[in-house]
Amino acid sequence: MKELHQYSATELSALLREEKVSATEIAKASLARIAAVEPTVDAYLTVTEEKALANAAAIDAKIAAGEELGALAGIPIAIKDNICTKNVKTTCASKMLGDFVPPYEATVMERLNKAGVVLTGKVNMDEFAMGGSCENSFFKATKNPWDPTRVPGGSSGGSAAAVAACEVPFSLGSDTGGSVRCPASFCGIVGLKPTYGAVSRYGVVAFASSLDQIGPMARTVDDVELLFSTICGRDPRDATSHQYTYEKAARDLKGLRVGLPKEYFGEGITAEVKAAVLKGVKQLEALGASVVEISLPSTDYALSAYYIISSAEASSNLARYDGVKYGYSGRRDAGLDELYLTSRSEGFGPEVQRRIMLGTYVLSSGYYDAYYKRAKRLQQMIAAEFTEAFTKCDIIATPVTPTTAFKLGERCADPVQMYAGDICTVTVNIAGLPGLAMPCGYDAGGLPIGMQLIGPKFSENRLIAVAKSYETAVGGFAVKEM
Amino acid sequence: MKIDVRHIAKLAKLRIPDEKLGQMEKELSSIVAMVEKLPELTGSTNLLDPNNTMELRKDEIVPSMPREDILKNAPKAAAGCFIVPKTVE
Amino acid sequence: MSNKYEVVIGLEVHAELNTKTKIFCSCENRFGAGVNSLCCPVCMAMPGTLPTLNEQVVEKAIKMGHALGCKINGTTKQDRKHYFYPDLTKAYQISQFDVPLCEDGHLDILVGDELRTIGITRIHIEEDAGKLIHDDGRDDTLCDYNRCGVPLIEIVSEPDLRSAEEAKAYLETITTILLYLGVSDAKMQEGSVRCDVNVSLRPVGAKEFGTRCEMKNVNSFGAVYRAICYEAERQEKVLDAGGVINQETRRWDDPKGESILMRSKEDAQDYRYFPDPDLLTFIVSDERIAALKAMVPELPTARTLRYVSDYQLSRDDASLLSLNKARADFFDSCVELGGCEPKLISNWIIGDIAKLLNERRIEIADTALTPEHLVGMVKLISNGTISNTAAKTVLEEIIEKDIEPETVVKEKGLAQINDSSALEAVVDKVLAANEKAIADYKSGKTNVLGFLVGQCMRESKGQGNPNTLRDMVTGAIEKL
């Protein structure tokens, strides 16, 4: 029999409304599951047990009083530890913010709280969201529930692992260059990187402001949709957020044109991944879609443009961590400069320092035009190529990652090899488009393979409709027994 | 091309130990090499984007945050202020 | 300074705008609050927080741009300027780099009798930094971030100024315009206007500019004057000794009257400007830009020149009158009502009225005084109804309450007595009491006449017509 922790958010919501289960029972089931699997998965940095039980009790009281419930009432959620939660430690998996307790709530948290969600805790990530394996956490490495000797992907590795291990039905991650889609793919779940500006960034600890987006992650497409529709829309506190409301799209794939860009199926992508994605596309054809070959010739440059823009912005965004106002503070007895140097050199991990260095370099006098300005122009070119492509097709299908989940420690020594893993996902951030990752098969070792669906700006409803049709056709996505 | 790692570190307020300078330079160089594949492009030089603009905020006061919350995460505070080592004027 | 060299000066003026809220968050923009009491997660640069640009900052800056004849860049953006210092919470200042809101303007200033036009390179908007407090009793530094995020405009002049006097006049005119436009409190003593000064020398007649030095922390009109004189002399000494000027940044210490080296060119900062990705391009419509232009009033220099040419006021009186917009507006309203000499109105405004306002530390708008009442009062003087002395009493009344000057004259019995028969008793009494003065007068010390007339004025409680009294006194003495 299906246990409570295995239900989706949509199912739990229905059970709760029918009063077949209480919010407290749901919360307890989630907390029990966390206690049971965390020794293996290591997804959580903070478990907010007391708060979760108190919130669940409040929901139960509302039900007893016959009050109206929010859309996500009583549903447990895990939040990536770079999203500020008022009075709950938000560390960014960094020594720098190891003790940081925000006195304010991120806009997405305000919206989730209003919807009645029950926060179970904050989950692990690569430090400041920089990385693709979750190994850059200062605190610990999260393991892939499909194979605990492998990485869950990153940077939102904790968010993906917690969902895949059924600790919670859904979670929030953030995606700057693939950080929601890569771990979703490695952990065999669904993850959505929304259009830039669809979800408020207020309260998300900035990595690269022009690329960062919060994204929902879940085991079902319905749950991703439910979570996304709750958090999206204009926020007056984020000047880059858009007036936008989510509307469901028709789930009929007849006439849908699926573009296959040849640049995304080239060398570097393993044969197993290619085959699984093409099989997934065949399934879409079987549902009535047609396939068109397209070309996105600037893809080759996207990774470089991505690393220039993201590192430049990161070097600037991370300048505020100086040991004065909050966070790790170094030596104070040898003058101001020594406080700066020790706070930053001891508080940031090696990958973060590497990106700050790169970003500082590309913005420094004499190099700004050659690097940053050139990358920004390339960004416009890449965006224009996508716009052109979307005159020929309605969605684009690609792999999410070139390989399936790799072994812990396997790529730590070579940053460039690690960066190459982002090849299929960064273009979506560069162009500000929505991208959805969903499972489309398994490799020989039984590890999940992901397929990415890319649409024009604010076509999340289309991507979700296609993914839902696919999910239904394949009889749902598998959950790893643990 | 040689990257002046020491100078960049100074700008970034990071202390790279001498024994790690070489490694950092190598890593930066390999990333820069990847980056230098970028084609030369022409176009607007001021990075304005008139097709993607923002709304401005109305000039209306919202109460500030209580001082104790502002100072809550301060590594060192006294007399309602954040404390830093003496700055030379 | 000798006349071998010409001094070349450019000013960067930072003025805090008097918006209700800060530039990038909704905290109140106010001077003098308790430390760290006007702060929020945004201006504290707490992780994840984002700036939103205050519309009024843009509008007020555009007004200043119009006042200085600038081209307005209605499509612009904000850039980040990076440097580490504890007064800057984000370790970057949000400013403007390559597309300032306003550029290519000019400002007319009056230096003595000369009208000079000074080029304005640009005006951009940016945020102020916090305040560092150095307490003698402590061996560390305290940070107060109330000022962090207060909106600033930076007004950069061309190197068109040629003397300390000109620089001072330029700065005075800028602050007067800020007040005219109502965009800044322009209080140098509270630090709401601050100034960096660039100074270089070149041999008289030379076309090339010399190497310049920048002086920071020049924060009063007097300090501008002193700092430039000091720096010009310092550079002259170096040049005369056969040395070369190094491009450097110096800090002006006004109490000590000297500048100290802050950093040389080799230590020049690399600010790593780039467009702030949290703030997109913004557009101010042509219609809005035009509407803001229509709100710019006649400016002080133009006003001064108009007062001189139209009303024959002296240059000094006209300047003094134009300095305060409310008072100059009041003057214009009086003149428009007509019926009396503009010169007389001006004398009252910059004389007795200014004195009363200064004593009470209020502005003309804070009083009950109306242009109608002032004109009415001046007319009463001109037509001989009241004396100047009595007018002072009338003025005190009509400044306090909304009352016709005629009513004051009636109620207080201030009407001037011109009828000599009604003054005879007064003259007799004064002469009887001042035998020595009469003797002095007769012995040729005719200047005691003023004293005697004054005594008569006092005896008549200010009501006697001084001219009538004068005639009566001389006539009476001659008859003795």
Residues C406 and C430 in one domain: no
C270 touches B11 (CB < 8 A) = yes
Among candidate residues A179, A229, A241, A310, the one labeled active-site is A179
Q: Are residues C460 and C393 in the same domain?
A: no
CB A326 within 8 A of CB A399: no
Residue found under tokens 């809005």:
C288
pLDDT at A5 over 60: yes
Per-residue pLDDT at A34 exceeds 80: yes
Please give the Cα distance from A175 to B26 (Å, whole number).
Answer: 28
Cβ neighbors of A472 (< 8 A, separation 6 or more) are: none
Q: Are residues C360 and C242 in the same domain?
A: no
- Neighbouring subunits of B (3+ Cβ pairs under 8 A): A, C
Taking a contact as any Cβ pair under 8 Å apart, which residues of chain A between 293 and 332 contact chain B? 300-301, 303-305, 307-308, 315, 319, 322-329, 332
Nearest to A336 among C52, C86, C278 (CB): C86
Mean pLDDT, chain A, rounded, equals: 96
SS3 B57: strand
Does residue C186 sit in the same domain as residue C41?
yes
By the 8 A CB rule, do A194 and A215 touch? yes
C91, A208: Cβ pair inside 8 Å? no
- Residues from chain A that touch C91, judged by Cβ atoms under 8 A, are 319-320, 322
* CB-based contact B47 C272, cutoff 8 Å: no
Asked about A179 being catalytic, the answer comes back as yes
- Distance from chain centroid for Cα C219: 14
Question: How much is the pLDDT for B89?
Answer: 54
What does each C-alpha distance from C14 to A16, C178, C220, C463 come to in angstroms? Answer: 60, 11, 12, 54
Answer whether C277 sits within 8 Å of A210, measured CB to CB: yes
Nearest to B83 among C35, C142, C282 (CB): C142
Q: In terms of Cα–Cα distance, which of A24, A125, A37, A138 is closest to A73?
A: A24
Judge whether residue A433 has pLDDT over 60.
yes
Domain final residue, candidates C396, C412, C428: C412
Domains, chain A, ordered by start: 1-482 (3.90.1300.10)
| Confidence check: pLDDT of B1 > 70 | no
Quickly list H helices, A403-475.
415-420, 426-430, 460-473
Contact C277 A82 (CB under 8 A): no
pLDDT exceeds 80 at position B40: no
Question: Do C195 and C53 have their domain in common?
Answer: yes
Which residue of chain C is at minimal alpha-carbon distance from B80? C35
Per-residue pLDDT for A182 more than 60? yes
Give me the residue from B71, B73, B87 closest to C86, CB to CB. B87
| A213 has a pLDDT exceeding 80 | yes
For the stretch C409-429, pLDDT in tens is 888 877 888 888 888 888 889
pLDDT higher than 60, residue A94: yes
CA atoms of B84 and C193, how far apart (whole Å): 27
For tokens 């990752």, name the residue.
Answer: A437
Helix (H, G, I), strand (E, B) or coil at A437: strand
Please count the other Cβ atoms lying within 10 Å of the Cβ belonging to residue A228: 23
Interval B68-78: pLDDT, tens = 999 999 999 99
Is C130 in the same domain as C211?
yes
CB contact under 8 A, A106 and C50: no
* Inter-residue contact A458 to A245 (CB < 8 Å): no
3-state secondary structure chain C: CCCCEEEEEEEEEEEECCCCECCCCCCECCCCCCCCCCCCCCCCCCCCCCCCCEHHHHHHHHHHHHHCCCEECCEECCEEEECCCCCCCCCEEEECCCCCCEEEEEEEEEECCEEEEEEEEEEEEEECCCEEECCCCCCEEEEECCCCCCEEEEEEECCCECCHHHHHHHHHHHHHHHHHHCCCCCCHHHCCEEEEEEEEEEECCCCCCCCCEEEEEECCHHHHHHHHHHHHHHHHHHHHCCCCCCCEEEEEECCCCEEEEEEEHHHCCCCCCEECCCCCEEECCHHHHHHHHHCCCCCHHHHHHHHHHHHCCCHHHHHHHHHCHHHHHHHHHHHHHCCCCHHHHHHHHHHHHHHHHHHHCCCHHHCCCCHHHHHHHHHHHHCCCCCHHHHHHHHHHHHHCCCCHHHHHHHHCCCCECCHHHCHHHHHHHHHHCHHHHHHHHCCCCCHHHHHHHHHHHHCCCCECHHHHHHHHHHHHHHC
Identify the domain containing residue C81 by its residue range.
Answer: 5-293
Look at residues C365, C395, C412 and tell me which one is the last residue of a structural domain.
C412
- Contact between chains at A102 and C46 (C-beta distance less than 8 A): yes
Question: Which residue in B has a C-alpha nearest to residue A332's C-alpha?
Answer: B85
Task: Compare all CA atoms of chain C with the CA of B71 and give the residue at the minimum distance.
Answer: C36
ipTM: 0.96
Q: Looking at the structure, tell me whether residues C194 and C156 fall in a common domain.
A: yes
Token duo for residue A2: 């299906």
User: Would you list the domain boundaries of chain B?
Assistant: 1-38
Number of CB atoms found within 10 A of residue A262's CB = 12
My answer on whether C303 and C427 are in the same domain is no
The length of chain C is 480
pLDDT tens-digit series, residues A169-181: 999 999 999 999 9
Burial class of residue C355 (count of CB atoms within 10 Å of its CB; 0-12, 13-18, 19+): exposed
> Quick check: is A80 catalytic?
yes
Q: What is the tens place of the pLDDT at every residue in C299-341?
A: 999 999 999 999 999 999 999 999 999 999 999 999 999 988 9
**Touching check for B49 and chain C: CB below 8 Å?**
yes
**Residue from the list C47, C270, C274 with its beta carbon closest to the beta carbon of A372:** C274
> Could you read off the pLDDT of C129-161 as tens digits, one per residue?
999 999 888 999 999 999 999 999 999 999 999
The answer to whether A229 is a known catalytic residue is: no
The single residue listed with the structure tokens 């960096």 is C196
Of residues A165, A214, A167, the one with CA closest to residue A188: A165
Q: What percentage of chain A exceeds 90 in pLDDT?
A: 92
Chain A residues with CB under 8 Å of B43 CB are 377, 380
Burial class (CB in 10 A: 0-12, 13-18, 19+), C408: buried
Name the nearest CA neighbour of A351 among C272, B1, C92, B14.
Answer: B14
Q: Does the domain at residues B1-38 carry the CATH identifier 1.10.20? A: yes
The Cα-based distances of C185 to A288, B87, C31 in angstroms read 69, 29, 10
Overall domain count for chain C: 3
Residue from A137, A155, A171, A459 carrying the catalytic annotation: A155
User: Of C384, C412, C440, which residue constitutes the final position of a domain?
Assistant: C412
